[in-house]
Amino acid sequence: MPKDGGIGASSKRREDVRFLTGKGRYTDDINIHGQAYAYFLRSEVAYGKINGIDTSVAEGMPGVVQIFTAKDFEGAGGIPCGWQVTDRHGQPMQEPKHPILAEGFVRHVGDPIVGVVADTLEQARDAAEAIDVDITEIDPVLDMRAALADGATKVHDELSSNLCYDWNLGNSPEEAEQVMNSAHHVTTLELTNNRLIANPMEPRVAVGDYSIANDDYTLYTTSQNPHVIRLLMGAFVLNIPEHKLRVVAPDVGGGFGSKIYHYAEEAFCTFAAKQCMRPVKWTSSRSEAFVSDAHGRDHVTTIRLALDENGKFLAIHTDTLANMGAYLSTFSSSIPTWLHGTLMAGNYTTPIVSVNVKAVFTNTVPVDAYRGAGRPEATFQLERVVDKAAREMGIDPVEIRRRNFITEFPYATPVAVEYDTGDYHATMDKLLELSDHAGFEVRAAESKANGKLRGFGISHYIEACGIAPSNLVGQLGARAGLYESATVRVNATGSISVMTGSHSHGQGHETSFAQVVAEMIGIDEKQIDIVHGDTANTPMGMGTYGSRSLAVGGSAIVRATEKILNKAKKIAAHLLEASEADIELKDGTFTVAGTDKSVAWGDVTLAAYVPHNYPLEEIEPGLEETAFYDPANFTYPSGGYGCEVEVDPETGKVQILSFTAADDFGNVVNPMIVEGQVQGGLAQGIGQALLENCAYDENGQLLSGSYMDYTMPRADDVPMFKVDHSCMTPCTHNPLGVKGCGEAGAIGSPPAVVNAVIDALQRGGHDVKHIDMPLSPDRVWMAMNS
Amino acid sequence: MHNFDFVKPGTVADAAAALQGDEAQPLGGGQTLIPTMKQRLAAPETLVSLIGIAEMQGVCKTDAGELSIGGATTHATVEAEAASLFPGLAGLAGRIGDPAVRNRGTIGGSLANNDPAACYPAAALATGATIRTDKREIAADDYFQGMFTTALDEGEIIVEVRMPIPEKSNYQKFLQPASRFALTGVFVAKYADGVRVAVTGASEEGVFRWTEAEQALGSNFAADAISGLSVSADGMINDLHGTPEYRAHLVKVLTGRAVMAAA
Ligand SMILES: Cc1cc2nc3c(=O)[nH]c(=O)nc-3n(C[C@H](O)[C@H](O)[C@H](O)COP(=O)(O)OP(=O)(O)OC[C@H]3O[C@@H](n4cnc5c(N)ncnc54)[C@H](O)[C@@H]3O)c2cc1C
């Protein structure tokens, strides 16, 4: 019987009532009396020296309130990077200044140069068109290999080169090399992980407001982590103490990572609000989003896998160039390192794993986390090279994986992480069953009869979620803690408001977090509301990314609710004139064990606030508790993904016929929400594999700067998914035993799709070993015909 | 978007008069022009809407056996009203953009714009259509003059498009994955006196006729008839979505498919 509430129930998403009926309140819905509008004049060239900016005509134009250039921000700091990576020589990464408005140079198409504030947006735009920016163009730095060559033009004059850092993890390259030299077989694969643009449905928006009465600021912004923005912007950029700065991230229409970071426009609107003595609003256009939201991925990798004669993995060596873009976005430096290198062992017992990453500055939009962040890049290269090795050695791709699966836990990898639990054979079994792997040959024959090439591709991923133990990430260079917070406020009549430091921008926290609390107390979910997104009424939290909300934020809620229950039991014991040790809680009623003496939840909560009959000498009145939860380890979701495709050999067009995901997320709070998260992730992973391609031309102009050229996945690009999460090895170190499911789909799917296409082509007699994503029809056709 | 005046005349004559003004421009469904204005790439002072002109609306069969389509007829109307008269054209119209685009966008707007990846130019050229404007009649073979370039003068209005109805026809559109315009599209039209094959999406010169295929198909209207032909990649479009070689290859594949679907 499915449960109709609490943990394990597919409770309907309560937030959907407002989202699906147009009643959401997004940042762009916020309009403050007297508000003015900001428009940014952005660089149209990839690299150039600013000789002068003439705003004189624009200043006299109708409606113009004030025009800002870098000069106005001389007292402000640069936009900080939140993670300092230490290179393989023990030196800190090179960290250029990231000004709010371009200082002396523009470094990518879209770099903001001038901010115009006017009564209306059209007036601001008119004025911006009348501004004359005199720029001497410089040949841009675009290709990462060329950027690292001796004598290459530097993106930042003040740095010694375009190398941000040169970083190693795991075994030394020499150790790996030794194994490669004597191994039975070495498989090599060069690949790129294509650059992507997040494209949340809601573009970014910022509304800055300043109150002279209280000398305080409010920023409304499209953020996945309002407290982080308050800390970064207040302490590092604008020098506003936290008690004078409130950051509100109301309903947010999707983030996928791109709304984690502190952006220039947020600082601009907050700063300009005081300068102009008016609220200042900026709403990104879609075109602007393409050149100002942080991009994702963009790795160029060479991976080598050494195997013995039985297909046992002996060593992995991987070299990656990671594009940082022109400036370091908030988490950019950590993505190719601690969120990528640490996953290079995958599901396998490979004893030697050596990872090198060189992060490179180029004249492109900054690159940062995008759904999966580092882990898709790791999974892609590993699951592709494993597949290639299987083909080269004539071993079945399922079998080669099984021969190398880790089966004993905890398992310490050579790349700094320890997996607590998992059962990879179980998810592989589930995948083969649900995808009818056994029947594939029959289906392949049918396709062949119809002139089509059918292929099946597998990937078995692992990822690290729930970021993360603060003391560990501190050692690794994080400039913040990565705990999460919760305050559980029980009202007098027993209803509850939970204030969480997590932020929901589509994930359904308001539903699943309420299920957790309802389960613990034994009351109806409807009695519980989840409050998030406003620094004024939630405890300092780190926000939502890295599939961390339930594992870390949910655990904080559990801890706070435990404190509530401890206190409630004391009150119940008093009311029942029993010993606290004898009090049992079931279905929202406190009972004295072995008796029929009981008191209801609502009576206990009322007593806490109307403490007439109350143990005041022992405990305080009221029922409100806060907890901060810092995880002991990452969580390690894993799973087996299978993709079945048909390729049209005449056109190279790939159609996905079926996609099966057998995940192990540990315990599951709301199976329907989990299924939705996986489906969304799969659609994005398929988007990366077949469709999405952020491309620049040789001048640094974005070729895919609109939906005319940037291909988002549409409904008819994806199949009906088969999603299963019945394999559960609960996380051993958080109270819910949950692992996180938000990114898995995007992490595990791209290699499954590419492996399937390669399988189809090889079955069709084409000697194609690899195609770089996206596997668009022209690329597949070119690969078949070259 | 900059401010502009808006007029919506009821006759072609009034529209033509309104278009005499400086910086006046016709407006069909606005599916191309309005986004361009929002991006401030176009800034007409007056928009002359053509959709209120009754004689520019609708689809019918003329006495001469041609399909007559009013210049301001939407794609959705063509899809519905040409379905039995000229199914090949209805099929083309029904796969332009999405329902919103089809309910607003017009054939006149599409032909006036002459986007190198648009669908209607292929049908107009393959049928040897006549483009009737407020001033003259232009044969399709003279009308298309390269990407976004046509024989139209400034302010000239496409009032009607007349297409000889073929015995058999089919349009094959291979989608550009992002825009879902034609990465390459081929319209094949078979008449009693010959076959015409028009290709959109592929050439840097815009829509063109593949005459070798027309000859081959004229004597044998079967996909096999073109198997020995090849299309040169010279002058084909090279972009993110396809090389010249790929487009040249698609021209042949799609022509074969169109013939098979039509036959
Ligand atoms: C999302 C989307 C998808 C699309 N997909 C496709 C597709 O798959 N295939 C395809 O072919 N097209 C596609 N289009 C384009 C669509 O067909 C447009 O409707 C068409 O190109 C322009 O027609 P319109 O009536 O909207 O013209 P408008 O935008 O109003 O005008 C376009 C130009 O034509 C001029 N004009 C308009 N009417 C006339 C007339 N009667 N006489 C003279 N000049 C005139 C205008 O002055 C302007 O210069 C798509 C458009 C969108 C927005």
- Phi, psi values for residue A268, rounded to 5°: -60, -50
Based on the fold, state whether residues A54 and A95 are members of the same structural domain: yes
Q: Do B178 and A650 touch (CB under 8 A)?
A: no
**Which chain B residues are closer than 8 Å to A686 by Cβ?**
none
Nearest C-alpha in A relative to B252: A650
Mean residue pLDDT across chain A: 97
Which CATH number is B3's domain given? 3.30.43.10
Q: What is the per-residue pLDDT across A149-188, written as a single tens digit (0 to 9) for each?
A: 999 999 999 999 999 999 999 999 999 999 999 999 999 9
Enclosing domain of residue A230: 31-138+201-254+259-292
Q: Which long-range contacts (CB under 8 A, 24 or more apart) does B82-85 make?
A: B85/B59, B85/B61, B85/B165
Based on the fold, state whether residues A130 and A272 are members of the same structural domain: yes
Residue A447 has pLDDT above 80, yes or no: yes
**Mean of the pLDDT values across residues A712-724?**
97
Residue A1 has pLDDT above 80, yes or no: no
In a domain? residue B236: yes
In a domain? residue B31: yes
Provide the chain B residues 126-185 that lie in CB contact (below 8 A) with chain A.
174, 177-179, 183
Helix (H, G, I), strand (E, B) or coil at B162: strand
In a domain? residue A159: no
**Mean of the pLDDT values across residues B115-119?**
97
User: Is the minimum distance from the CB of B96 to ligand 1 under 6 angstroms?
Assistant: yes
Residue A2 has pLDDT above 90, yes or no: no
**Which chain B residues are closer than 8 Å to A785 by Cβ?**
249
State the best of A39, A287, A651, A686 to mutate against chain B, taking most chain B CBs within 10 Å: A651
Type of residue found at A309: E
Cα A249 to Cα A531: distance, rounded to the nearest angstrom? 11
Look at chain A and report how many structural domains it folds into: 3
Which CATH number is A287's domain given? 3.90.1170.50
**Mean of the pLDDT values across residues A741-762?**
98
Residue B263 has pLDDT above 90, yes or no: no
Residue A640 has pLDDT above 90, yes or no: yes
**Which chain B residues are closer than 8 Å to A693 by Cβ?**
240
Residues 6+ apart with CB under 8 A from A571: A604, A607, A608, A614, A615, A619
% of chain A surpassing 70 pLDDT: 100
Question: How many residues would you count in chain B?
Answer: 263
Q: Do A651 and B243 touch (CB under 8 A)?
A: no
Residue A308 has pLDDT above 90, yes or no: yes
Nearest C-alpha in B relative to A783: B246
% of chain A surpassing 90 pLDDT: 98
Which CATH number is A625's domain given? 3.30.365.10
DSSP letter assigned to residue A624: E
In a domain? residue B174: yes
Q: Do B250 and A651 touch (CB under 8 A)?
A: yes
Domain-ending residue, one of A595, A629, A663 = A629
How confident is the model at residue B22, as a pLDDT? 84
Q: How confident is the model at residue B26 (pLDDT cuts 50, 70, 90)?
A: very high
Candidate from B39, B179, B242 with C-beta closest to A778: B242
Based on the fold, state whether residues A664 and A625 are members of the same structural domain: no
Query: Could you tell me the distance, in angstroms and rounded to a whole number, from the CA of residue B118 to the centre of ligand 1?
Result: 9
User: Smallest CA–CA separation between B214 and chain A, in Å?
Assistant: 21
**Mean of the pLDDT values across residues B212-237?**
97
Q: What is the per-residue pLDDT across A13-26, written as a single tens digit (0 to 9) for each?
A: 999 999 999 999 99
Candidate from A287, A704, A777 with C-beta closest to B240: A704
User: Smallest CA–CA separation between A131 and chain B, in Å?
Assistant: 16
Measure Cα distances from A607 to A533, A567, A573, B73 in Å: 31, 12, 12, 73
Helix (H, G, I), strand (E, B) or coil at A222: coil
In a domain? residue A196: no
User: Is the minimum distance from the CB of B86 to ligand 1 under 6 angstroms?
Assistant: no
State the best of B241, B245, B252, B253 to mutate against chain A, taking most chain A CBs within 10 Å: B241
Mutate to test the pocket of ligand 1, among B49, B50, B96, B149 (most ligand atoms within 8 A of CB): B96
- How many other CB atoms are there within 10 angstroms of residue A50's CB atom? 18
Beta strands A496-500 and A36-42 are unpaired
Residue B97 has pLDDT above 70, yes or no: yes
Q: Do A709 and B178 touch (CB under 8 A)?
A: yes
Q: What is the per-residue pLDDT across A450-459, written as a single tens digit (0 to 9) for each?
A: 999 999 999 9
Pick left, alpha or beta for residue B81 (phi over 0 → left; psi -120 to 50 → alpha; otherwise beta): alpha
State the best of A776, A779, A784 to mutate against chain B, taking most chain B CBs within 10 Å: A776
Based on the fold, state whether residues A616 and A698 are members of the same structural domain: no
Look at chain B and report how many structural domains it folds into: 2
In a domain? residue A309: no
**Mean of the pLDDT values across residues A656-675?**
98
CB A230 within 8 A of CB A202: no
Q: Do A708 and B39 touch (CB under 8 A)?
A: no
User: Is the minimum distance from the CB of B16 to ligand 1 under 6 angstroms?
Assistant: no
Q: Do A693 and B240 touch (CB under 8 A)?
A: yes
User: Smallest CA–CA separation between A691 and chain B, in Å?
Assistant: 7
Residue A279 has pLDDT above 90, yes or no: yes
User: Is the minimum distance from the CB of B201 to ligand 1 under 6 angstroms?
Assistant: no
**Mean of the pLDDT values across residues A232-237?**
96
Q: How confident is the model at residue B1 (pLDDT cuts 50, 70, 90)?
A: confident
**Which chain A residues are closer than 8 Å to B39 by Cβ?**
287
In a domain? residue A556: yes
Based on the fold, state whether residues A700 and A622 are members of the same structural domain: no
Type of residue found at A411: Y
Based on the fold, state whether residues A637 and A620 are members of the same structural domain: no
Candidate from B178, B239, B242 with C-beta closest to A711: B178
Q: Do B240 and A125 touch (CB under 8 A)?
A: no
User: Smallest CA–CA separation between B247 and chain A, in Å?
Assistant: 9
Pick left, alpha or beta for residue A215 (phi over 0 → left; psi -120 to 50 → alpha; otherwise beta): left
**Which chain A residues are closer than 8 Å to B250 by Cβ?**
651
Q: What is the per-residue pLDDT across A596-630, written as a single tens digit (0 to 9) for each?
A: 999 999 999 999 999 999 999 999 999 999 999 99
Cα B155 → chain centroid? 19
Q: Which long-range contacts (CB under 8 A, 24 or more apart) does B211-214 make?
A: B213/B255
How confident is the model at residue A4, as a pLDDT? 83
State the best of B31, B250, B252, B260 to mutate against chain A, taking most chain A CBs within 10 Å: B250
Based on the fold, state whether residues A610 and A514 are members of the same structural domain: yes
Based on the fold, state whether residues A92 and A215 are members of the same structural domain: yes
Q: Do B178 and A704 touch (CB under 8 A)?
A: yes
The pTM for the full model equals: 0.97
Q: Do A782 and B243 touch (CB under 8 A)?
A: yes
**Which chain B residues are closer than 8 Å to A712 by Cβ?**
178
Q: Do A711 and B177 touch (CB under 8 A)?
A: yes
Based on the fold, state whether residues A670 and A582 are members of the same structural domain: no
Q: How confident is the model at residue A468 (pLDDT cuts 50, 70, 90)?
A: confident
Cα B143 to Cα B128: distance, rounded to the nearest angstrom? 10
Q: Do B249 and A781 touch (CB under 8 A)?
A: yes
Cα A64 to Cα A650: distance, rounded to the nearest angstrom? 58
In a domain? residue A701: yes
Enclosing domain of residue B32: 1-49
- Look at ligand 1, atom 1, and give the residue with the nearest C-alpha: B97
Candidate from B39, B179, B246 with C-beta closest to A778: B246
In a domain? residue A373: no
User: Is the minimum distance from the CB of B114 to ligand 1 under 6 angstroms?
Assistant: no
Based on the fold, state whether residues A524 and A622 are members of the same structural domain: yes
User: Smallest CA–CA separation between B145 and chain A, in Å?
Assistant: 24
How confident is the model at residue A786, as a pLDDT? 87
**Mean of the pLDDT values across residues A129-148?**
98
Nearest C-alpha in A relative to B245: A782
Measure Cα distances from A224 to A253, A290, A503, A505 in Å: 10, 19, 6, 7
Type of residue found at A107: R
Type of residue found at A529: D
Which residue in B135, B155, B161, B131 sits closest to B145, CA to CA? Answer: B131
User: Sheet harboring B46-49: ordered strands across?
Assistant: B5-7, B46-49, B24-27
Which CATH number is B250's domain given? 3.30.390.50
User: Is the minimum distance from the CB of B217 to ligand 1 under 6 angstroms?
Assistant: no
User: Is the minimum distance from the CB of B155 to ligand 1 under 6 angstroms?
Assistant: no
How confident is the model at residue A3, as a pLDDT? 83
Domain-ending residue, one of A609, A629, A649 = A629
Q: What is the per-residue pLDDT across A356-405, written as a single tens digit (0 to 9) for each?
A: 999 999 999 999 999 999 999 999 999 999 999 999 999 999 999 999 99
**Which chain B residues are closer than 8 Å to A291 by Cβ?**
none
In a domain? residue A675: yes
